A and B are shown apart, each in its own frame.
Chain A
């Protein structure tokens, strides 16, 4: 089912505005640019197909993020079975390699996947824990715990980076 004609312009505008957010979220989950692109493309197709299910039109940006997160995780799961050993050896990212000039994005790469998702949505997208919970499919409490753990780790990493 396609998007109603009168809604298409808005959908495209929101999608355009969300390009970076969707890709960054997908990349934070998949850690692979090609997979991130595929996840976003698949998410956009799904969003078009299911647009009629979106009851709150003003939540379109968050809805797109949620679908993108789901597609990214699905792709990770699929890739998990066939990922080459040499790729696995490169993970998890070693933030120490990036020191002393450590960016937040580099530091985020050293976190576990659930914390990366939460951090990207909280610090880059300014979303509240409750909204993040809806997107990642966890309780707000669980999101806050993830953020708390991520915050402690980021504080440590960025401090190391400063004193590098």
Chain B
């Protein structure tokens, strides 16, 4: 976190924010009803015909995915498609990593997180416990984490190195910290236990931005494993499964992005697979809603390297 972030967080903490009296009164009433167990929804919404049809299509898709789950070991679930929003979750047999495999640097970071959590006001900070650092190289990330993380993208000539969010590292909008190639984010708890760790890195394949995220779950983690995606508006998901060059099963979701003002004009696809240590996500984005086939082809080319 840079100085500006710290300054903005300090500003946010100092700013007075008064709640409308009517809101306070309404919330008092809701809390009382919740305490008595009498709180109920204020009228059910009905789903439109179009949404019902899409939900039915999603159910078919889910059924198909469930059948193949045992083999593909990564499953797309909770698929929802509707005019208001579309989303899916990805889950699978994600390996759990013995805590002793993580480096001392990770242990120190978690201890730091735990100490900060103890010092923070839980009311002002609804989700402390987070730690983030950027690194110049994948090797530096591996060293920090404590064990190797398979990443053939580092060796291929197909890609140009980008920052961890897959933005060109010379982009003027990036500060020094944001130009770095990789990032590690971890979450700890008040007991000083690591809950989750992710490693992000980014590349460019011509106009296509590629971001890879590796999610690692230590033994004893209380976090729900998995990942997912969600869109405002009605998206189309095309789910396919195959195997990487090394025979690792993957699931690829090509997304037809919703046509609304909320999104820029782009195409997107995500591939999910599990390697020895964790859940890998390859996220590809390309300009133009008609470039979906290019994005998918790019991901397939890269998946052949794993």
Contact = CB atoms under 8 A, between A and B. Distances in A.
A56 B187 contact: no
A137 B88 CA distance: 10
A148 B174 contact: yes
Nearest to B128: A126
A104 interface: yes
A133 to B, nearest CB: 9
B4 A155 contact: yes
Contacts of A61: 126-127
Contacts of A154: 4, 8
Given A128-B130, A148-B165, A45 B37 contact: no
Interface string B230-249: 11100000000000000000
Nearest to B33: A48
Contacts of A21: 126
B5 A151 contact: yes
Given A45-B42, A62-B126, A2 B37 contact: yes
A9 B166 CA distance: 44
Contacts, number: 165
Given A56-B223, A152-B173, A126 B127 contact: yes
A129 B85 CA distance: 20
Interface stretch (A83-91, A92-100, A138-146): A138-146
Interface residues of A, number: 65
B53 interface: no
A127 B130 contact: yes
Given A3-B34, A128-B187, A24 B17 contact: yes
A163 interface: no
B230 A137 contact: yes
Interface string A8-50: 1101100111111101100000000100110011101110110
B40 to A, nearest CB: 7
Interface in B171-204: 173-174, 178, 185, 187, 196, 198, 200, 202
Contacts of A37: 20, 22-23, 26
Contacts of B26: 37, 41
Contacts of A11: 34
A79 interface: no
Contacts of A126: 9, 125-128, 130
A144 B202 CA distance: 12
B130 A140 contact: no
Given A61-B127, A145-B167, A104 B84 contact: no
A40 B23 contact: yes
B24 interface: yes
Nearest to A21: B126
Interface string B11-27: 11001010110111011
B182 to A, nearest CB: 13
A70 interface: yes
